[in-house]
């Protein structure tokens, strides 16, 4: 006898339940059942800002990620739980546990790594139940937090090192103290509106003795100045009531970032990393983004005090890339064993006089957080740009926890295979492609992804007529064409300097994230943004300047000031991460009209050409309400109306966190703002128009995905099971109609088949019900392969098998019907 079941399959339904109209709109309710599918990848991890470990139970620890929220493991990394998915921000600077009660957890939001891609936060949070629930405890304007300390005998006393706004001056920075568990705060150490606190270290034997690294810095769209007279190392003996700057034996004059640590067994022993060497910025276009040479003796390095900071001795010049690292750790059982975090993990066994650079050569570089087990100093946990790793033999060997999908995508792509593959470029983790679906019931795993370019990955675009050809880009306009059939990678970047034969070619300026696109009318035509728009008609083998015009404002950044210092003058970490200014950040060709080109630049130009680039018109001054020199984050010509184009702008590089989204109906001659419903304080990175439904738009900002079904008249968040995370790119697969989301902190996500959203309107929402056209069926041909260890190895789920039917009901809905039929 056999029993068969017939299901009315509804894997994801759009339904409407009665709600309070004051708290939720009909559209928000209608889309509240849509579920995303996390795709990974996880094999490369993502940037870690901090670690906090339960000392009595070190298999339990927390990680703070640069843009992916807070995570917790209770089994030493075998499995992980995200704890911050529903909080307002995912950029984390610090996570700290109460030494006497590990269920008390404090989190400071806004990473302190000072990158051009750093996210920002909104203050501090506290959990009293080991991260299950959170309460916002204020300091909302601090933006970036470097360290939190909890008094070991009185958990109501908490200290916060607030670095302050990375992109502009603000008052809410310095050292803050609460004596009532965060109900009220007092600023106990403040220098000025450019100087914040980057690090704190407490004497374990005397919690009233605290060291504070004060840090003056500011980043802009054109450069970075990482120091000044405000920076310095301070000490308090009375729990923060009074502070003294420490100078004896430390560098004189301006300083930059400072990191500090106190030996656990003897508070007299203190180590500090001090940045003190100003550099003259490189000339525009010289590349690299760091400072050039500077005069005078070198003072930066590692310093040690044996008298609680009264006097200091310079131990070595070790201090790798201070603005990005500046972390020093003392072995809790050996004051001569010192770790300095940088591109490599550097280890000293003689009190910092000499270092070896092989502390973690087996794993990803760029280290930001280190915990050393006080009960077993051979046990270490390390956080880097490549995730979390652990060693149990004193750095001789490491295990990377490659089961955390923390990828930081800048841009994404797809191909037309069936099932299709997705691609994208990741911060410090190359560019990759992987399947949206596999034949394995294990789902999508590490081995299903393949790398297409090395470095910091950005645009990764597949030829829509030949899925074996992939164009990939790394930082500064470096790009290649990858032939999957042969494995050949052909470099394609236009010539940018003197040729070997002595001819002088133009020096082009490329953005960190240079715009790369294929023509929608001819996939052999490749566009790449420098300060000129570059075009190749032969798949990147040769290049031309489109129109022969520099499309930027051509501003000499050496004439611009940061914190009152001209760009031509010596600075700490001068322009780190920004190799040039005045270059193309957004480009698109109209899918309707060949040769209708749009260009946006980092210095705020919006250029339009209607004659294939022969002539250009700058329309930036016609965009009402947009501040001058605002970074253009995306341009989206409409697939439905010839003169229609959408634009998003990201002002946070100018200290402006407003949402800027515009539409033009006349080739950019006039513009209308369309931001109703978008949250203030979180800049917009991307806008995408649906290829079939002209009224359906999607926006990605610093906290998630938003949707409009009326061409931007009103936006609502499309969240549901999607975490709070920056969204840097959104695409729609033209065949499968899936929404593809590239996050900067939580890897790749897919919202399957948005057909239902195409049909939503006020009229449809007023109907009693509607069944939407079905999606393609999903069939999985199962192959066993190797057996994964659940949790310890990462796998993303395949789509559910069968037909997905989406429907809408205005009123209360009942469960799907299940019918049973018996037979013999």
Q: Read off the pLDDT band of 187 (50, 70, 90).
A: very high
**pLDDT at position 57:** 98
Task: Identify the band that residue 701 occupies on the pLDDT scale cut at 50, 70 and 90.
Answer: very high
Determine the straight-line distance between the first and last CA of the chain, rounded to whole angstroms.
4
The confidence score (pLDDT) of residue 290 equals 40
- CATH number for the region 46-279+299-400 comes to 2.130.10.10
Outline which parts of the chain fall under CATH 2.130.10.10. Answer: 46-279+299-400
pLDDT digits (tens, 9 = 90+) for 591-601: 999 999 999 99
**Contact by Cβ (8 Å): 226, 239:** no
- What's the pLDDT at 287? 40
- Would you say residue 88 has pLDDT above 60? yes
Does residue 683 contact residue 657 with C-beta atoms inside 8 Å? Answer: yes
Residue 636 near residue 688 (C-beta atoms within 8 A): yes
Q: Which of 141, 224, 231 is nearest to 194 (CA)?
A: 231
**What is the CA 645 to chain-centroid distance, rounded?**
27
User: Is the pLDDT reported for residue 820 higher than 80?
Assistant: no
Find the radius of gyration of the CA atoms of the chain.
27
pLDDT level of residue 818 (50, 70, 90 thresholds): low
Selection from 807, 742, 753 nearest residue 778 by Cα: 753
- The confidence band for 786, taking pLDDT boundaries of 50, 70 and 90, is low
**Segment 142-160 mean pLDDT:** 99
Distance between CA atoms of residues 571 and 322, nearest Å = 13
Collapsing DSSP states into helix, strand and coil, what is residue 489?
strand
Q: What is the pLDDT of residue 292?
A: 38
pLDDT of residue 285: 43
pLDDT at 375 > cutoff 90:
yes
Question: Averaged over 428-435, what is the pLDDT?
Answer: 96
Residue 249, SS3 per DSSP: coil
Q: Residues 758, 404: contact at Cβ < 8 Å?
A: no
Residue 15 above 90 pLDDT? no
Q: Is the pLDDT of residue 3 over 60?
A: no
22 has a pLDDT exceeding 70: no
pLDDT digits (tens, 9 = 90+) for 113-123: 999 999 999 99
Mean pLDDT value across the chain: 92
Backbone angles phi, psi at 399, to 5 degrees: -115, 125
- Over 90: is that where the pLDDT of 146 sits? yes
**pLDDT tens readout for residues 261-316:** 999 999 999 999 999 999 887 654 444 444 433 445 789 999 999 999 999 999 99
Q: For the chain, give the percent of residues with pLDDT over 90.
A: 83
- The count of other CB atoms within 10 Å of the CB of residue 57 is 11
User: Once rounded to an integer, what is the mean pLDDT over residues 244-250?
Assistant: 98
Q: What is the pLDDT of residue 440?
A: 84
Band (pLDDT 50/70/90 cuts) for residue 781 is low
Q: What angle do CA 721, 752, 526 make, to 5 degrees?
A: 115
CA distance 758 to 761: 9
Confidence of residue 505 (pLDDT cuts 50, 70, 90): low
Beta bridge partners of 318: none
Q: Average pLDDT in the 726-736 region? A: 98
Residue 17's pLDDT is what?
A: 34
For residue 567, is pLDDT > 60? yes
Query: Are 11 and 352 in contact, with CB atoms under 8 Å apart?
Result: no
Give buried/exposed letters for 653-664 (b at 16+ CB in 10 A, else e). Answer: bbbbbbbbbbbb
Mean pLDDT, residues 387-405: 98
Other CB atoms within a 10 A radius of the CB of residue 707 amount to 24
pLDDT band at 232 (very low <50, low <70, confident <90, very high): very high
Q: Is the pLDDT of residue 713 over 80?
A: yes
pLDDT top residue among 414 and 818: 414
Residues 636-684 have pLDDT tens digits of 999 999 999 999 999 999 999 999 999 999 999 999 999 999 999 999 9
Mean pLDDT confidence for 490-496 = 83
Specify the range with the lowest mean pLDDT, choosing from 253-267, 382-396, 775-789.
775-789
Tell me the percentage of the chain whose pLDDT exceeds 70.
Answer: 90
Task: Mean pLDDT check: name the lowest of 3-17, 242-256, 415-429.
Answer: 3-17
CB 145 within 8 A of CB 110: yes
DSSP assignments along 67-104, one per residue: SS-EEEESSTTSS-EES-TTSS---EEEEEEETTEEEE
- 319-358 pLDDT, tens digit per residue, is 999 999 999 999 999 999 999 999 999 999 999 999 999 9
Residue 470 CA, distance from chain mean position: 24
Contact predicate 50/430, CB 8 Å = no
Judging by beta carbons within 10 Å of its beta carbon (0-12, 13-18, 19+), is residue 498 exposed, middle or buried? exposed
pLDDT above 70 (res 458): yes
């Amino acid at each position: 006898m056999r029993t068969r079941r017939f299901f009315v399959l509804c894997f994801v339904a759009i339904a409407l339940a009665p709600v309070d109209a004051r708290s939720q709109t009909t559209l928000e309710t209608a889309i509240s059942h849509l579920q995303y599918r996390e795709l990974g990848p996880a094999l490369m991890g993502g940037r870690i800002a901090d670690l906090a470990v339960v000392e009595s139970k070190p298999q339990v620890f927390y990680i703070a990620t640069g843009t992916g929220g807070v995570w917790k493991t209770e089994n030493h990394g075998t499995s992980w739980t995200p704890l911050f998915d529903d909080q307002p921000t995912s950029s984390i600077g610090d996570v700290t546990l109460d030494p006497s009660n590990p269920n008390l957890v404090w989190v400071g939001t806004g990473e302190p790594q000072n990158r051009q891609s750093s996210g920002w936060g909104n203050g501090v949070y506290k959990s009293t139940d080991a991260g299950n629930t959170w309460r916002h405890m204020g300091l909302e304007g601090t933006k970036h937090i470097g360290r939190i300390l909890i008094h070991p005998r009185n958990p109501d006393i908490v200290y916060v090192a607030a670095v302050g706004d990375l992109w502009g001056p603000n008052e809410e920075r310095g050292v803050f103290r609460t004596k009532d568990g965060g109900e009220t705060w007092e600023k106990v150490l403040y220098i000025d509106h450019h100087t914040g606190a980057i690090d704190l270290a407490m004497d374990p034997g005397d919690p009233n003795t605290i060291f504070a690294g004060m840090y003056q810095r500011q980043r802009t769209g054109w450069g970075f100045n990482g120091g000044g007279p405000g920076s310095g190392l301070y000490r308090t003996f009375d729990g923060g009531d009074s502070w003294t700057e420490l100078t004896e034996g430390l560098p004189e004059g301006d300083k930059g970032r400072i990191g500090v640590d106190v030996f656990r067994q003897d508070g007299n022993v203190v180590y500090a990393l001090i940045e003190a060497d100003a550099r003259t910025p490189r000339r525009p276009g010289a590349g690299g983004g760091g400072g050039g040479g500077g005069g005078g003796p070198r003072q930066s390095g590692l310093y040690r005090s044996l008298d609680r900071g009264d006097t200091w001795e310079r131990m070595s010049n070790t201090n790798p890339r201070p603005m990005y690292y500046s972390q020093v750790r003392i072995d809790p059982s050996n004051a001569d064993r010192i770790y300095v975090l940088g591109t490599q993990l550097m280890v000293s066994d003689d009190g910092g006089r000499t270092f070896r650079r092989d502390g973690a050569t087996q794993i990803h570089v760029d280290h930001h957080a280190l915990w050393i087990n006080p009960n077993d100093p051979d046990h270490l946990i390390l956080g880097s740009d490549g995730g979390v790793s652990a060693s149990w033999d004193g750095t001789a060997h490491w295990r990377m926890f490659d089961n955390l999908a923390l990828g930081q995508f800048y841009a994404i792509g797809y191909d037309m295979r069936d099932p299709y593959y997705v691609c994208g470029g990741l911060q410090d983790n190359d560019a990759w492609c992987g399947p949206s679906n596999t034949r394995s019931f294990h789902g999508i795993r590490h081995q299903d992804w393949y790398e297409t370019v090395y470095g910091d990955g950005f645009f990764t675009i597949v030829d829509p007529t030949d899925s074996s050809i992939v164009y990939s880009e790394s930082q500064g306009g470096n790009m290649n064409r990858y032939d999957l059939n042969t494995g050949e990678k052909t470099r394609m970047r236009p010539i940018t300097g003197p040729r070997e034969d002595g001819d002088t070619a133009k020096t082009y300026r490329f953005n960190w994230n240079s715009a790369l696109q294929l023509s929608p009318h001819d996939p052999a035509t490749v566009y790449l943004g420098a300060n000129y728009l570059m075009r190749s008609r032969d798949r990147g083998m040769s290049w031309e300047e489109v129109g022969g015009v520099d499309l930027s404002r051509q501003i000499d950044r050496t004439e611009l000031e940061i914190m009152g210092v001209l760009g031509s003058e010596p600075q700490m970490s001068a322009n780190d991460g920004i190799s040039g200014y005045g270059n193309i950040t957004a480009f698109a060709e109209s899918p309707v009209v060949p040769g209708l080109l749009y260009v946006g630049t980092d210095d705020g130009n919006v250029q339009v050409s209607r004659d294939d680039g022969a002539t250009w018109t700058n329309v930036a001054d016609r965009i009402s309400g947009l501040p001058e020199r605002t970074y253009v984050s995306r341009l989206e010509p409409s697939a439905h109306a010839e003169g229609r184009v959408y634009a998003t702008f990201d002002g946070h590089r100018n200290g402006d966190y407003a949402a800027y989204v515009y539409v033009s109906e006349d080739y950019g001659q006039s513009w209308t703002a369309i931001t109703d419903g978008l949250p203030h304080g979180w800049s917009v990175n991307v806008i995408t128009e649906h290829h079939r439904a002209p009224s359906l738009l999607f926006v990605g900002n610093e906290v998630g995905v938003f949707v409009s079904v009326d061409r931007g008249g009103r936006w609502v968040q499309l969240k549901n099971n999607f975490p709070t995370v920056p969204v840097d790119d959104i695409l729609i697969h033209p065949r499968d109609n899936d929404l593809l989301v590239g996050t900067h902190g939580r890897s790749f996500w897919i919202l399957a088949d948005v057909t239902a959203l195409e049909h939503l309107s006020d009229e449809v929402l007023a109907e009693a019900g509607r069944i939407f056209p079905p999606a393609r069926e999903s069939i999985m041909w199962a192959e066993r392969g190797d057996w994964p260890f659940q949790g310890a190895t990462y796998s993303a789920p395949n789509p559910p098998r069968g037909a997905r039917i989406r429907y809408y009901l205005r009123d209360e809905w009942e469960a799907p019907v299940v019918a049973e039929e018996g037979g013999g």
